Structure 1
Amino acid sequence: MVARHANEPHRVATPLELFFDLCFVVAVAQAAAALHHDIAEDHIAHSVPAYLAVFFAIWWAWMNFTWFASAYDTDDVIYRVTTLVQITGALVLAAGVPRAFADNDLTVITYGYVIMRMAMAVQWLRAGQADPERRTCARRYALGISLLLLGWLGRLWLPDELAVVAQVLLVVLELAVPIWAERAGRTTWHPHHIAERYGLFAIIVLGESVLAASIAVQSAVDTHGGDIGLLSVAAAGAVIVFAMWWLYFDRPARDLLDSLRIAIVWGYGHFLVFASAAAVGAGIAVAVDVETHTAHVGEVAAGYALAVPVAVYLVSVWALHIWPQQPGPATIAYPTAAALVLLTPLTPVSVHLTAGLLVALVVATVVTTRVRSVPEPGGGGSVDGRPAVLAQE
């Protein structure tokens, strides 16, 4: 298992990585659906911590595989089999999501997580054996993962009041393992590959919102005889998702990942991006329930089920993608839009106003980009097939 080069040309996601992502769609869908159900039933105090705990397990397992594969994807038989074991763990985890929300029982989720992480530890041990230069780093990963697996299993035996404390501690330690391991020798993850992989997962979580908008249209046509109000909610939900996609992919992130510190902040910060994007789908679904009078939650609370994740998404994308590349007064539009989105639930057209604010933000982003860019003298060549530009600060 030889480490791949960090500057390898034409590095793209492999079919196995795409299959891995596809299987994680199931887990993300289960988490979003459970969040939607709990909020619609007015179990908000229970739904938020449960959703964050479940989504952390999903995201963390996906992220660890992604960074490992960026450095050590040999695509041989052992690698493929080990990855398929990780996928099996993801499916077990997804199967445990309903029980986690309904009964606060994390047993099945923990077993699925343990399966994924055991396979990950095996991958790191194999990398440490074959890569002497980074052997200490790889073995630190394997050791940290293995010890924490015992911690997660032990947590199942604790009383509820201690289990919560143990869970928070275990999450902190999980986040610390890569920082500790990479101090012994940075793995050769590929910046462009990592940016692409994160972009693909962003599309997966945004897909949950697309599904919610689609279900709204289906409900309006099949059940409510083409109800205009429901169709308008579906249209506004679709516009919100389109704008979120535009804002995330407006500027490539690959050139930002030029140091381990930045990569850690950027990689960890995407928990908020991904969790909020998936939660937007749940918020749109709750808005549909309110419109069809099937929700047991008030209109203001239902409005915040959409407004809060949209605001978190805007602030996190701004902090990770926009501010590092264009600091200055122009970027104030993102936090301003987020603040205004948080006011929309106080109106009777929360979803529509949110959609309008995001469209305005997209327009402002496009205008700002064009104002800051002029053709490079002499034609300038191209970047990724597009004319090169020279930013004017």
Structure 2
Amino acid sequence: MTGRDSTESHRAATPLELLFDLTFVAAFGVAGNALASSIAHGDILAGIGAFAFAMVAIIWAWINYSWFASAFDTDDWLFRVLTMVQMAGVIVLAIGLPTMFASIERGQPVQNEVMVAGYVVMRVAVIAQWLRAAHGNPKYRAVAKTYAVSIGIAQVGWVLLIFLPLDPLGFVLAAIVVLAIDWSSPILAEAKGAHYGGGATPWHPHHIAERYALLTIIALGETVFGTLAAAQSITAAEGWTVSSIMVVSLGVLMAFALWWVYFLVPSAPILAVRRSKALVWGYGHILLFASIAAVGAGLHVIGYVYDEHYHVSTLVAISSIAVPVLIFMVTLYLLHAWLVSAMPKNTPLQATVIALPVVAVLLAAIGWPLWACLLVVVISPVTIVLSFELGAWRTLDAQLAAVVEEGARASS
């Protein structure tokens, strides 16, 4: 495990990485269903808190593995086995999510034993991988050992939290401390590696961009599942009416529009010439992935509006979709600006479009029909797509060309 060539051609995701991603489909699905159920039962704040905690754990574990694999994937038997151990950990973590959600909803000490067990299994396997990288190449010994130590300290912290009878607020405060340790590992390790002459880990920009794109698609799958769940409830309650057809169609259109908007900005060429942009870009995707999964949960909530066993208002259902769409749009806008070191030229349009989810919530509050409010939310990403295809792509192309040219000059 000596480190991959960060400039090798045709570097793509491996079959093992694709199998690894499939376990996150299940984890996203469990977390999304639990959030939708919490909202339907009126435990909105508790559900959001539990969902945020679950998504941070899930996405952070995925990120750590993906960046390591980009830099050191050997695809030998030991790498495969340790990757499969991490996959088993994801499954265990997903099994523990409903219990964790239920404890937070009841205001009891957070019952996250199973969830933490799965997370620790994943992270211990990552520690083994980093120790192997430290042994494989002296050049990366400092950075790899720092990763292993900082990740190990964080896992001790997560285990200690299991034995502390903390209420939800106390747990949040303690978890923030442990999370800060966990999230600091890339910053500390890469800085130490550079200080001792080893340099940063040799991750591949095109491979990393593809891996993030693939997880985006997996998260978007939750919007499809959410639409299907809503469609089943709606059609069971009132059959195929104009309203039900509109809701289902707009749910599908939401998935298409979010996909299109995400892939407007090609990240790989920029990361290839501006590797220093990768840290913020990578961390920012935690919010992006979580917001996409939350949109799927929100679409699922629509189904509860039509279920006579629940009392979910149009305002609650639309808010559960509009808020994550707003977060998605703002986050993507900021990541675009970060990558090209400039604000997008159509900023006025973007600001207006980003406000549409807020308008949809206001319309729901004054009694507009659900499908009409959902249409206003969907118009937000659709407008960005139309703007791009009708000519804004020229400005984006010019920004990308300037970034790549500047990077080429700096490296020559």
Structures share fold, TM-score greater than 0.5: yes
Distance 2:237 2:313 in 1: 23
- AA at the equivalent of 1:13: A
Shift of 1:332: 3.6
Match of 2:175 among 167, 172, 197: 167
Find the counterpart in structure 1 of residue 259 from structure 2: 245
Partner of 1:230: 244
Residue 373 of structure 1 and its aligned partner are, at CA, apart by: 7.9
Aligned residue type for 1:154: L
Is 2:100 aligned against 1:115? Answer: no
Structure-2 residue corresponding to 1:144: 150
Following superposition of structure 1 onto structure 2, how do residues 191-210 of structure 1 map, counting pairs within 5 Å?
Answer: 191-210=205-224
Shift of 1:371: 4.7
Give deviations 1:188-235, integer Å, cap 9, x for gaps.
000000000000000000000011112333444455422332221111
TM-score by length of 1: 0.91
Query: Which one of the candidate residues 265, 287, 290 is aligned to 2:302?
Result: 287
Aligned pair 1:361/2:384, yes or no? yes
Is this contact kept in 1: 2:230–2:302, CA < 8 A? no
Q: Distance in 2 between matches of 1:337 and 1:346?
A: 15
Which residue is equivalent to 2:135? 129
1:303 and 1:370 map into 2 onto residues whose CA distance is 31
Structure 1 equivalent of residue 317 of structure 2? 302
Match of 2:362 among 336, 346, 353: 346
Q: What's the offset of the Cα at 1:369? A: 2.9
RMSD: 2.0
How far apart, CA to CA, are the structure 1 residues paired with 2:374 and 2:318? 7
8 Å CA contact retained: 1:230, 1:292: no
**8 Å CA contact 1:311, 1:341 repeated in 2:** yes
Relative to structure 1, the CA distance from residue 274 to residue 374 in structure 2 (aligned partners, 3 Å threshold; closer, same or farther) is closer
Q: For the structure 1 residues 322 and 367, does the alpha-carbon distance in structure 2 shift closer, same or farther, using more than 3 Å as the test?
A: farther
Sequence identity (%): 40
1:273 equivalent in structure 2: 288
**Structure 1 counterpart SS, 2:126:** helix
Cα distance between partner residues in 2 of 1:197 and 1:244? 17
Equivalent residues of 2:336, 2:344 under 8 A apart = no
Counterparts of 2:52 and 2:38 in 1: how far apart (Å)? Answer: 13
Aligned AA (2:296): G
Aligned 8 A contact 2:154 2:179 in 1: no
Cα displacement string for residues 323-375 of structure 1 (whole angstroms, at most 9, x for unaligned residues): 63362441343333222211202222321211223322211122233554899
Instruction: Give how far 1:262 is off.
Output: 1.2
Comparing 153-162 with 180-189, greater Cα deviation is found at 153-162
Shift of 1:318: 1.0
Which amino acid in 1 is paired with 2:227?
A
Name the TM-score, length of structure 2 as normaliser: 0.87
AA at the equivalent of 2:51: Y
Which residue of structure 1 lines up, in the alignment, with residue 185 of structure 2?
Answer: 177
| Distance in 1 of aligned mates of 2:135 and 2:123 | 18
Q: Secondary structure at the match of 1:160?
A: coil
Is residue 89–residue 115 contact of structure 1 (8 Å, CA) maintained in 2? yes
**1:233 and 1:288 in contact (8 A); partners too:** no
**Aligned equivalents of 1:374 and 1:296: distance in 2?**
48
Richer in helix (by share): 2
Q: Distance in 1 between matches of 2:380 and 2:306?
A: 21
Which residue is equivalent to 2:334?
A: 319
- The count of residues paired between Structure 1 and Structure 2 equals 376
Judge which range, 260-269 or 1-10, deviates more: 260-269
CA distance in 1 between counterparts of 2:49 and 2:335 reads 24
Letter in 1 for 2:88: T
Q: Is the Cα–Cα contact under 8 Å of residues 315 and 338 in structure 1 kept in the other structure?
A: yes
Amino acid at match of 2:222: E
Q: Which runs of 5+ in 2 are unaligned?
A: 105-110, 194-198, 399-412
Amino acid at match of 1:350: C
Residues 220, 292 of structure 2: 8 Å contact kept: yes
Cα distance change, pair 324–254 in 1 and its aligned pair in 2 (3 A): same
Residue 55 (structure 2) pairs with residue 55 (structure 1): yes
Aligned position for 1:36 = 36
Alignment partners' CA distance in 1, 2:163 and 2:179: 17
Q: Distance in 1 between matches of 2:217 and 2:378?
A: 19
Cα distance in 2 between the residues matched to 1:40 and 1:118: 36
Deviations, residues 258-291 of structure 1 (Å, cap 9, x unaligned): 4454111000000111000000001111123214
Alignment CA distance shift 1:292-1:352 (3 Å): farther
1:154 aligns with 2:172: no
Separation in 2, partners of 1:244, 1:84? 31
**Whole-Å Cα distance in 2 between the matches of residues 370 and 142 of structure 1?**
43
